[in-house]
Structure 1
């Protein structure tokens, strides 16, 4: 027994607990690992990283002093230069003095700036149940009312005008619901006819209602719209209208009816083959020759029609690509379930095709919003038109370019970047990958 104890005493000590794990090497964890794997993983990547860092440093070293050394309190470009006294710096005073004109235009009433601002804020409330699946469905009635409310806030006038327009849509919808069970075409054209009749009758009723209950805001004609507000109006309205029209054109192009198919094909190919600026000149000049003498057709309405036509043709091709990407078995499955064409499209085909088409639709929407600046060539004072026209034409700020166009670029970047980020979020929510 004594020999056994002596042998055990000579054995190495055995731990009663587990040794804690050692930290990883510095090169295999944290920031060092990220830098080594992403920026300095090879000689070529190291050279590109160093060159990129030098380019970033060169741009920032030349830009940041100009930005942060800018002058905010001055009444003219000459006064800015006197304050800078040869130093590098921007003349941000033009933004401080002319921001109202950049956002709302020159002739929009200054005491009514709250109206388009309120309409812009309410726009997010109206879009919430449409853009976000988890938003409460109880907000959809406000979404339906918002276009008429926004018109009343921005254009003003009697409240009965947008109310009667809303009543026309309600009448058309009720007629459509009544006749669609017999035929979709009968319901569609019946709804349009009922809405037009109601609109014609409203012309006799509206003056009487206005006299009995004069609920009005100061009327603002369309020629007084300007600034970034005009870009937002055109972008929001045209994108909202071009999406359903583009879907209808895409479905019409795949129709088995030759007349419908070729009308859609000719429309899409013609519009896609014509520059947008040409359509804007048509809206501004040529369209007036087709109207009766002494008739007035609002310029903003004409521009909205042309831009909507232009965007809907491109969206139609995007949606058609999404429809073509679906396997034939989806159509056969819809037929096997006994669904007719409208039900199959609404419940099975279009939801999948639109999910596939999200990147293309967003690309068209972003491009369309930026293309609204082309209205400046037909004497509409949008944001770019305000910069090129009244502001740079003034003797006080003639020569200020980088500050004004940088401000315009920042506004457009915020909107377009927000649209892009929303589309990426929506793709993740809907899991658009075909796994």
Structure 2
């Protein structure tokens, strides 16, 4: 098979390119810019384009297919040439389905927790040396790439998000996988640039349920009232299994699963619900509750999900991917519950299109109320790049309903403020789906005053 990737440098795209290369396919690709770690990974396998930019001469009738990344535009010269030649063009979720249509497909959907649930399932399957393919949205310990596709694996575990598939395919990715076993972890409005109303957004999950294969299984968070309503009125011919928070207790900063008192390396109600979702999926894959608990005890979390940067008897420093209102609140609540005797300094960097939209900003009301020091940072460059009007401190304080909240749009001033605080019996939580304004977090952690 000869396959060309347009916009090969994307997170999922470059991992899929490597996976297909390992499978023996002839892979070429192009992009206008490729960042690390994609650049080094592609170079390692001889897949890094010799020159950046688009060139229609890369496209010929010898190709079996083109896979189109979301980063490309609809007037991309290579895309236009492929269309002119009648070459089959796939989005990457379409091609993932092509690679897995003869396997049992487990698709993890929902506004939050997808990567963690997927990671937990992969961890347990790996623990028991199961043969499986996968697509996950973060780099995991023990897994070289974020995508694996083989001929013989009987099952594929797929993290399925609701964002658009490609510039010429406006369907959400998770609609294309046709799950045999599906998870919906919860619904919290996101991607306002694509789904301008909450109703537009929730309808995507209704459609997702209807894509589940007949007699398949839906595992869903029954603590989510809106999701419960959607599931209850669905007439899809599927099995429906709800889940909530499992029985547990916290002692000396460690969470234990009950009744066997299995010590966990993760914590927080949201992670415990993620764990229950993963356990129910693993039951569908014939892994018992006891075997699941044994394996999950060694799970340390997905990358950037409450990842420990440093820890001592007085202060832990975490980084987390949280950026949406629901994720922000869940992460703060988790750290406060786990360390009830410590104060919390919580800093969120807003940089997604939704979070920089003034109409959407009010969705963050109350999200940081449990933090002892609540901080919002927005790099002025984010507004400039998205051509949006900057917020004032008053805008942010009003939207978050928190007059004590501190707001910064200068990274130097933010760092100075963080370093000025006393961290005796205090944790620091840095949250962003970006790069924290280029902070060296380990260096920052070393510099904190105790």
Instruction: Give me the TM-score of the superposition, normalised by structure 2.
Output: 0.23
TM-score, L = length of structure 1:
0.24
Which has the larger strand fraction? 2
Larger RCO, structure (CA 8 Å, separation 6 or more) = 1
